[in-house]
Amino acid sequence: MGYNYLSSAIPKELANLTSLSVLDLGSSNLQGSVPYLPQVKELSVGNNPRIKIDLSLMFEFTWSHLEKLDISFTQVNGSIPNSLSNTSSLIDFWASSCLIHGSIPRSLYNLSKLENLFLDVNYITGHLSTSISNLQNLQYLSLCENSLQGPIPDSICKISSLTYIHLAGNSITGALPKCILQLTNLKVLMLSGNHMSGTIPSLMNLFQNSSAYIVTLGSSGLTVRVGEDSFPSNFQPVVLDLSACSMQGGIPNFLSNLTQVEFLNLAQNNLSGTIPIWLFSLPNLGYLDLSFNNLEGIVPPTIRLQQIFGPTTLNLANNKLKGPIPLLAEAIEVINLSGNKFIGHIPSQFGGLQRLIGT
């Protein structure tokens, strides 16, 4: 019954349908609260911003069959209570953008069947507990855009099933656990926008045993060194964000091996030297940000970027680049060449960039 305009409360009489196991009321303009439905295995009321949920009242009774719960984009009153343990069969818990406050209760770490946990864009505080290792079946962990503090516990590395870690946009401190190398199934690691510390001495060694395709460490507080280890052929990210990671020296040569990369952000580092021609030959690159570095020399006369999932972007601002402004491919939508030493004329070809939305 999802994607309707029902404009009513969820009737408590649905509890009388004792054989009902799946109930999807998502995106239906519903209001009121969620009644006790002890028979359901899958319940989706997400994207109903007029529904108000008191989780303490909701989990006052045992939901012994509930395996999947989606309350994203509703209005949650307060925090996640310890009575969440009354959903001991829970496998998937989606509660994004629903105004949750407080810390993660200890009972959540006892949901041993949990595979997918999405609590992003809330007001969750406190630390990640070392007890997170109890979630031995966890695959997706998303807690981005909250107010978490403290370090990432080493015990997270004991969850060998983890494929997705999204902790960006918090106030996480401390170093990246060295044991993260043990997570051979890890495909997504997003830690940008935190207050971490310490140095990753070898980016190549970090991903020697994984095939992660999204890696964002930008503005995480971590210092990144490429290292002298050999390039791991299985490391072919689609998204790589190493902005504001105190990188030094020239643009790393290992990037020439990234044939799948579409989004590359190396902004706000201490990179120097010239921009290698091969960087503009990466077959899938559609977003390149090299701004706020110390790059110098002449930019290749022609730059081609590919159309990707977002605006095709070239940002070379605030460097020491000189020479004529390069010719750009028609696919480019966003350009920033400010704060350099370019000379000559603005190419008339710019007038043909019909996709351009910013300069």
Domain that holds residue 216: 12-352
Domain annotation covers residue 359 = no
pLDDT value, residue 254: 93
Domain annotation covers residue 147 = yes
- Number of structural domains (the chain) is 1
pLDDT value, residue 345: 87
Beta-carbon contacts of 87 under 8 Å, excluding residues fewer than 6 positions away, are: 59, 63, 66, 69, 111
Residue recorded with tokens 């949901």? 111
Mean pLDDT of each 10-residue bin along the chain, 359 residues long: 92 95 96 96 97 95 97 96 96 98 97 97 97 98 98 96 97 95 92 97 87 96 91 93 97 95 98 94 95 94 85 95 85 90 83 66
CB atoms near residue 135 (< 10 Å): 23
Tell me how far apart the terminal alpha carbons of the chain are, to the nearest angstrom: 45
Domain annotation covers residue 232 = yes
Beta-carbon contacts of 196 under 8 Å, excluding residues fewer than 6 positions away, are: 172, 173, 174, 175, 176, 220, 221, 222
User: Three-class SS of residue 125?
Assistant: strand
Domain annotation covers residue 357 = no
pLDDT value, residue 233: 87
DSSP assignment of 146-164 = S--EEPPPGGGGG-TT--E
User: Three-class SS of residue 13?
Assistant: helix
Torsion angle of alpha carbons 126, 130, 133, 138, nearest 10°? 10
pLDDT value, residue 87: 96
**Running DSSP on this structure, what letter comes out for residue 259?**
T
Beta-carbon contacts of 351 under 8 Å, excluding residues fewer than 6 positions away, are: none
Domain annotation covers residue 7 = no
User: Three-class SS of residue 174?
Assistant: coil
Largest CA distance in the chain: 78
Residue recorded with tokens 């704060």? 339
Domain annotation covers residue 346 = yes
The CA distance from 322 to 161, in Å, is 49
Domain annotation covers residue 109 = yes
Q: With contact defined as beta carbons under 8 Å apart, do 271 and 224 qualify?
A: no
User: Three-class SS of residue 84?
Assistant: helix
Identity of residue 159: I
- CATH code for position 109: 3.80.10.10
CB atoms near residue 119 (< 10 Å): 24
Domain annotation covers residue 225 = yes
